Amino acid sequence: MMMFASDGFLTDNSSSTNTGQTHVFTSFPNSAVDVDDEHSGNKTINQSDSNQYTLPLPATANETTSEQYHLWQIEYYQKYFQVDTRQVVERLIGSITPRPNKSYFDSTIRQNPDLYGPFWVCVTFILTVAISGNIVDYFHKSATEFQIDFSKITLSALLILIYWWLMPTAIYFFFRWRLNRIEYTFLELLCIYGYSLTIFIPISILWIIPINWLQWTSTLIASIISGSVLIVTFWPTINSDHKRFSALSMLIILFVHLLMALCIMLVFFHVSDKNINPTTETTTVFTTVLSTTPK
């Protein structure tokens, strides 16, 4: 006779043996365990403490084993965000301390490139540049003239995002066509370049101080430090073959890095001796130049 068992499922109690057409649910697969339980939460914490280099899984890890995610589902992109706070801090510190023999890329990023660090470093850089540019305008113009300039956010976003995507694209194609192999995946290049912008965040706050030589020297020092981290990362690959290109390509990388920093400094922060206010629209730049020449 069919009746409802204690666990809520319809079972056939008339025959003790399973006669093929009735299925008795007496066991449950592991995926039915609720991953939000305290027990499973403690389990992942213990795992991360025991072995320093195993990466703790995100909370939805148990459900990703057998499913293929599509481009429009957010779980598809979760594989680029498998990092912890400690790892991100490690990579940030590695990107501002150039060490001649050891590439921080090999030791930290290579086995697990992520998109969290580069993206939020870029966004922070964009915001600090825009806010600091507005602060410079605030102290420079009188109280009646100053307006919060939203176009600074869009301009700095354009410059920085173009740099962050352009250089990895160029280097990726350089490696593919010239050297005929893919030494670094595009994701790893994005990672390297994203983290290399870390040092410019405090520098962009330093750029507010309107002392000319301070702005130039801080730009140079910051570009040299982060550029040397880039060089240390790329040197082993470049140097292994095509020795003619190695020094030249290193110089080009350093030069473009310096160019980016100088561009941002001049557009947003530079206070020259003639007290020409840096503005973001070319027409107003022309009118101020024309108006100040009679002096």
Partner 1 sequence: MNNDQNSFLPSSQPIDIIDGNITSTSNQNELSTLDEPIFETIKRDLSAVLRKFSHALIPRQSLTLLQQWDLWGPLILVTTLAILLQTNTTKTSSGMHFAEVFILMLIGSIAITINSQLLGGKISFFQSICVLGYCLLPLLISAFINNFLFYLPYKSILHIIRFLIVMIAFTWTMYASICFLGQTQHPNRRILVLYPIFLFYFLVSWLIILHTHSK
| Interacting residues toward partner 1 by CB under 8 A | 1-4, 12, 14-15, 19, 21-22, 41, 44-45, 48, 56, 58-60, 74, 77-78, 80-81, 83-86, 88, 116, 120, 123-124, 127, 131, 134-135, 138, 143-151, 279, 281, 284
Nearer to partner 1, 60 or 275 (CB): 60
Nearer to partner 1, 48 or 246 (CB): 48
Rounded to a whole number of angstroms, the minimum distance from the CB of residue 164 to partner 1 is 17
- What are the angstrom distances between the C-alpha of 270 and each of 82, 167, 212, 213, 231? 40, 25, 8, 11, 28
- What are the angstrom distances between the C-alpha of 161 and each of 12, 26, 44, 105, 122? 65, 56, 36, 21, 7
User: What tokens does 158 get?
Assistant: 């354009």
Rounded to a whole number of angstroms, the minimum distance from the CB of residue 110 to partner 1 is 20
User: What tokens does 93 get?
Assistant: 């510190």
Rounded to a whole number of angstroms, the minimum distance from the CB of residue 186 to partner 1 is 19
Nearer to partner 1, 181 or 290 (CB): 290
Nearer to partner 1, 117 or 168 (CB): 117
**H runs (alpha helix) in the chain:** 38-50, 85-96, 104, 116-140, 151-177, 186-196, 200-206, 212-240, 243-264, 282-292
Nearer to partner 1, 5 or 247 (CB): 5
Give Cα 249 distance to the centre of its chain. 24
Rounded to a whole number of angstroms, the minimum distance from the CB of residue 69 to partner 1 is 12
Please say whether the beta carbons of 196 and 257 come within 8 A: yes
Burial class (CB in 10 A: 0-12, 13-18, 19+), 227: buried
Rounded to a whole number of angstroms, the minimum distance from the CB of residue 229 to partner 1 is 22
Rounded to a whole number of angstroms, the minimum distance from the CB of residue 74 to partner 1 is 5
Nearer to partner 1, 138 or 173 (CB): 138
Of 162, 145, 169, the closest CA to residue 264 belongs to: 162
